[in-house]
Amino acid sequence: MNRLRAIGKWFDDRLALGRLYDQSLGHRIPFSSSSWWYVFGSATLLCLIIQLVTGVCLALVYVPSPDQAYASLEYLDYEQPLGWYLRGLHFWGSNFMVALVTIHLVQIFLFGAYKYPRELTWMVGSALFLATIGMAFTGQTMRFDQDAYWGVEIIVSILGRLPLVGEAATHLLQGGPIVGAETLSRFFTLHVFVIPATLIGLLVIHIRLVLVLGISEYPEPGKVVDPDTYADEYEQVVERTGIRLMPEGGGKDLVFSALVLMAIVLCAALIGPKIPNGPADPSLIHTVPRPDFYFLSLFAAFALMPPDLESFVIVYVMPLAVVLLFAVPFISRGGERHPSRRPGAVILVILVLTGLFTLAWEGVVSPWSPEMDAWSGVPVQPRFVEDRSPLEHMGATVLQAKQCRNCHALDGAGGKRGPDLAGVATRLTEDQLIRQVLQGGGNMPAYGNHLSPHEVSALVAFLTTLHAEGQAPARDSASWARSARESPGSR
């Protein structure tokens, strides 16, 4: 034992490990900051470590060339023992990392922990947040499947709208004027060298700042941050209640990190990696590309906004949002920290998160996209076929063959771009249906030139049967008034 201690001392004399411990893991933090609310940063760090380890392992097999990237993923998924599991860990690690870094950022914002003297910590943290998003996007591109291909198309289209630098930036990112053979190499370089190096560099600064400035104490209502006195007060709190981060203060971090680790391991084992959805080939028209969940909000926002607004949002709103993110500690530098005294901050968080989640849900459903296979692949439900005449059957066939179903669902099945036709006969009279089919209107194109009179007659004959049992079909007001006049008691 004594010999072991002697060896330890020999190393300590040279590496000063004890002093390193005192200044890092052993540094003193306020007792109040050993809280379940303070565990998200360390869990994000754990995710980063998982991503680095699994990423290095994946890079041993992955081939970053357009003709082989997809095949190397399929090799990992189906051939290499547990290759799929490695992909699963990396995929779920990234999902958790994006989620946790976001939660960490929201928690810091709500607790006012960015206030004096931690402005720089917040700014570096914001840069880390953006770098993580950058990793997630470039990582999605590594799959080089349909999602990746169209995701890149969208991002470079966004970049291309920037004034002055737009064209040069897209050229640089794509390695040419269009998405081509060089593009994947560019994104691979970003994903594996540039962004991780930036991320680790920023992380060193972030942790350095946390160690130098100390972890913020748990906010108390009524306790105000005053830049003139804060440093002294914080020192006194640490003096009075301070505990060492390790082993005393960091127990909750360890427990939470262990839970996150277990969750990632389980998700990878039970749900598995994201299966690439077809090679990056723009000639495949039967594709429904969707970004990974963290970009669904952006995807939906751009799909839903009027085209005139796109450039304005790209050139002004998005950069302004980034500037505002970095400027938070200068907009509210001191004052109250507890969320109960900062209703504006709480409302802002609720609004932003509600907006993001609502948009993300819209992105999942994406009702604006026609379902291009519905006409031939989504059957007319038997209850819309039963008890109908040959003409009405023909009308249902016309509805399918003319691809109406790609935009119009029948009782939920089919495209969501136009209204569901299941109850259309209660909303439109026969004449209105004919007019709508022939002339279109309300976002629907006119089909008068694409349908023969027989087809229109058959189609409308079918559509007029689409009302719930016991629910009267729509009638025009003139005929309603006439029938009411003729037999007053019958309505």
Partner 1 sequence: MKEKPLLLAFVLVAALGCDSLPGRPDPADRYQRPSEVEDFALLYATHCSGCHGADGRNGPATNLGDPLYAALADPVEVRRVIAEGVAGTPMPVFAQTGGGTLTEKQLNILAEGLKAGLNGSESASRLRGAPPLTAKAGVRGQASTAQLARGEQAYATYCARCHGAEGTGGASGGSLLEPAFLGLVSDQALRTTVIVGREDLGMPGWQGAGERPMTAAEVSDVVAWLGSHRSSAGDAASGVSIK
Interface positions with partner 1 (CB under 8 A): 74, 77-78, 82, 84-85, 88, 145, 267-273, 275-279, 284, 286, 373-380, 382, 385-386, 388-398, 400-402, 405, 430-431, 434-435, 438, 452-458, 461-462
Q: Which is nearer to partner 1, 241 or 277 (CB)?
A: 277
Question: How many residues make up the chain in this entry?
Answer: 491
Taking a C-beta distance cutoff of 8 angstroms, is the pair 100, 339 a contact? no
CB atoms within 10 A of CB 307: 7
Question: At CA 213, angle to CA 201 and CA 331, rounded to 5?
Answer: 85
Please report, for the chain, how many H helices and E strands are present, in that order.
22, 4
Question: Given the complex with partner 1, which of 297 and 400 has the nearer CB atom?
Answer: 400
- The least CB distance from residue 364 to partner 1, in Å, is 19
Question: CB 431 → partner 1: shortest distance, Å?
Answer: 5
Contacts of 111 by beta carbon, 8 Å cutoff, 6+ apart: 37, 216, 218, 219, 337, 338, 339
Residue 407 three-state SS: coil
The least CB distance from residue 441 to partner 1, in Å, is 13
Between 12 and 74, CB nearer to partner 1? 74
Q: Which is nearer to partner 1, 284 or 468 (CB)?
A: 284
Specify the residue, 74 or 248, whose C-beta has the smaller distance to partner 1: 74
Structure-token match 């005294």, residue found:
341
Nearer to partner 1, 23 or 439 (CB): 439
**How far is 159 from 169, CA to CA, in rounded Å?**
7
Which residue lies nearer to partner 1 by CB, 239 or 431?
Answer: 431
CB 447 within 8 A of CB 435: no
The 3-class SS string of 31-90 reads HHHCCHHHCHHHHHHHHHHHHHHHHHHHHCCCCCCCCCHHHHHHHHHHHCCCHHHHHHHH
Which is closer to partner 1, CB of 248 or CB of 430?
A: 430
State the minimum distance, in angstroms, from the CB of residue 425 to partner 1: 16
CB of 373: closest distance to partner 1 in angstroms?
Answer: 6
Instruction: Report in angstroms how near the CB of residue 72 gets to partner 1 at its nearest.
Output: 14
Radius of gyration for the alpha carbons in the chain, expressed in angstroms and rounded:
30
**Residue 32 vs 277, nearer CB to partner 1:** 277
The answer to whether 303 and 368 have CB atoms below 8 angstroms apart is yes
CA dist 459 and 438 (Å) reads 11
Could you tell me which residues come within 8 angstroms of residue 69 by beta carbon, excluding any fewer than 6 positions away?
A: 62, 63, 142, 143, 144, 184
- Rounded least distance, CB 139 to partner 1, Å: 18
- Specify the residue, 158 or 425, whose C-beta has the smaller distance to partner 1: 425
CB-based burial label for 60 (10 Å; 0-12, 13-18, 19+): exposed
State the nearest-atom distance from the C-beta of 393 to partner 1, in Å: 4
Longest dimension (CA), the chain: 113
Report the nearest approach of partner 1 to the CB of residue 70 (Å): 9
DSSP string for residues in 203-268: HHHHHHHHHHH-PPPPP-TT-EE-TTTHHHHHHHHHHHH-EEIIIIITHHHHHHHHHHHHHHHHHH
CB of 407 to partner 1, least distance (A): 14
Contact 5, 219 (CB under 8 A): no
Instruction: Please state the closest distance from residue 82 (CB atom) to partner 1, in A.
Output: 6
Looking at beta carbons only, is 118 or 408 nearer to partner 1? 408
Q: How many other C-beta atoms can be found within 10 angstroms of the C-beta atom of residue 260?
A: 23
Tell me how far apart the alpha carbons of residues 437 and 430 are, in angstroms, rounded to a whole number.
11
Least Å distance, CB 303 to partner 1, is 24
Closer of 156 and 410 to partner 1 (Cβ):
410
